[in-house]
Chain A
């Protein structure tokens, strides 16, 4: 672990140190604040002075001192506290299991928090990112993000959640919330189109956290499935946008630019997991991504298999976006008119949705109905919130203009 670069080392140690302090003092909010200050001190000192011999002990000691300063005003008492702390922080590294990190993840992704708050708190407490970094990644002012995080902590304090793993009966539902938060962090980093460096860092962080969960819960198929899905999707990052930042659709991507190592790792994970249990939605989505990634060209894609997987996925959860994707797979397998009639069932469920319009445009284009395709591309361009996507769809419509 000590071979890691200071940034990565800090991110690995951060949740452990929050765990130690929360256990010791029973105040998650204060512990988290103190660790954040210790991290900032380390980011400043370590690259300059070198990583200390016992980095975790260093962080525990600095953060404890901050915490003690916060909760005790009395100087004499503080000195006594610090002497005690100095003794205790001599615990050798490695004695803390990953359990603290897992407890922290469950705490940060608690259902009593709103999703944006859970994401921010997870990135800070478990991810070890600074508030400024998280604010930059989500394109909001630092003060806004700081406020969001402190509200989330106040909420956790008010709900008096104990710092331990949830009861086994509740654990599965709570794990689903954890995985969902990681999935959203990844999407936030990925949907930016691979142009913004900050956002790409967010995808990388989501992968790092998903790896962590997979290591802590090696028997959980969905955790592995989520990691595989992220790896298999992230593998295409360099091919997803052109030099101007406009999106490049899957069928037109330069597949030699896909990251082979990520694909291999994702497929190996899936191969290990899929036969072991009844696969959940993340594993099925990862399997779909794997079929795309394994195809040598867009034409060589095994669409019948993708269609079968979307059938499975749709049976797990009634989600109109899944139906939309299934319609595209249907068109690729049975022709565009079969796909279009499936899309027709979605108008009520996805009103004014740019993805529905874009899918329809694409299928009209496939069937040779140029004027319908132009109409739907323009409609999709009008409806999308993404400016690069709007320009791409507009250019696509223009390309078809006779």
Chain B
């Protein structure tokens, strides 16, 4: 069963201070945690894909115009307090395992090494009906 784990980043800093105020060592510890976490997913044969996303400042919202050509506006608007920072796609045996993995990622270290407990949305990936 495949699940997508969507990592939310709280830009408002309600849950934890903005990453721009972390020390270089705190950022490094966070990155080291994520690298180890992903390496373990690979070793356990559970990782399908994982990507960090570029900042929302680089995002564009697209709609089809009258002639079908893309009509582009700048993406998520300034009042947006939360944005998608990255995602994992995992292939695991049970939903329980996906929740366990998401909880482990959520505990990634932040300032002073304390766990961030950031919100991670876990959603099954839609599949063709079994025949």
The contact of A381 among B20, B24, B53, B86, by CB within 8 Å, is: B20
Question: What's the minimum C-beta distance from A401 to chain B, rounded to whole angstroms?
Answer: 6
A391 to B22, CA, bound (A): 10
**Contact status A383-B58, CB under 8 Å:** yes
Q: Is B107 an interface residue (CB 8 A)?
A: no
Q: Is B28 an interface residue (CB 8 A)?
A: yes
Q: Is A56 an interface residue (CB 8 A)?
A: no
> Which of the candidate stretches A44-52, A173-181, A239-247, A255-263 sits at the interface with the other chain?
A239-247
**Contact status B27-A395, CB under 8 Å:** yes
**Contact status A398-B55, CB under 8 Å:** no
Chain B residues near A398 (CB-CB < 8 A): 20-24, 27
B77-93 interface bits toward A, Cβ cutoff 8 Å, 1 = contact, 0 = none = 00000000010000000
A107 to B87, CA, bound (A): 40
Closest to A399 in B: B24
B13-28 interface bits toward A, Cβ cutoff 8 Å, 1 = contact, 0 = none = 0000001111110011
Chain A residues near B28 (CB-CB < 8 A): 242, 244, 246, 395
A388 to B31, CA, bound (A): 9
Within 8 A of B (CB), among A385-402: 385-388, 390-391, 394-399, 401
Closest to B32 in A: A244
**Contact status B58-A394, CB under 8 Å:** no
Q: Is B61 an interface residue (CB 8 A)?
A: no
Q: Is A294 an interface residue (CB 8 A)?
A: no
Q: Is B43 an interface residue (CB 8 A)?
A: no
Q: Is A302 an interface residue (CB 8 A)?
A: no
**Contact status B54-A395, CB under 8 Å:** no
Q: Is A378 an interface residue (CB 8 A)?
A: yes
Question: What's the minimum C-beta distance from A145 to chain B, rounded to whole angstroms?
Answer: 16
Question: What's the minimum C-beta distance from A377 to chain B, rounded to whole angstroms?
Answer: 9
Number of interface residues of B (CB under 8 A): 19
**Contact status A245-B55, CB under 8 Å:** no
**Contact status B54-A244, CB under 8 Å:** no
Q: Is A333 an interface residue (CB 8 A)?
A: no
Question: What's the minimum C-beta distance from B17 to chain A, rounded to whole angstroms?
Answer: 10
Question: What's the minimum C-beta distance from B43 to chain A, rounded to whole angstroms?
Answer: 15
Chain A residues near B58 (CB-CB < 8 A): 382-383, 385
Closest to B30 in A: A391
Chain A residues near B31 (CB-CB < 8 A): 244-246, 388, 391
- The answer to whether A244 and B23 touch (CB under 8 A), given A384-B54, A385-B54, A387-B54, is no
The contact of A395 among B22, B35, B52, B57, by CB within 8 Å, is: B22
**Contact status A378-B35, CB under 8 Å:** no
**Contact status A395-B24, CB under 8 Å:** yes
Question: What's the minimum C-beta distance from B30 to chain A, rounded to whole angstroms?
Answer: 8
Chain A residues near B52 (CB-CB < 8 A): 387
Closest to A390 in B: B55
Question: What's the minimum C-beta distance from B87 to chain A, rounded to whole angstroms?
Answer: 12
The 5 closest A-B pairs by CB, nearest first: A387-B52, A382-B57, A395-B24, A395-B27, A244-B31
For the A-B complex with A381-B55, A391-B31, A395-B22 known, give 17 more contacts whose Cβ atoms are closer than 8 Å.
A242-B28, A244-B31, A245-B35, A246-B27, A378-B20, A382-B57, A382-B58, A385-B54, A386-B54, A387-B52, A388-B31, A390-B54, A394-B22, A396-B24, A397-B20, A398-B20, A398-B22
Residues of A at under 8 Å CB distance from B? Answer: 242-246, 378, 381-388, 390-391, 394-399, 401
Residues of B at under 8 Å CB distance from A? Answer: 19-24, 27-28, 30-32, 35, 52-55, 57-58, 86
12 contacts between A and B (CB under 8 A): A244-B35, A245-B35, A246-B27, A246-B31, A382-B57, A385-B58, A391-B30, A394-B27, A395-B24, A395-B28, A396-B24, A398-B20
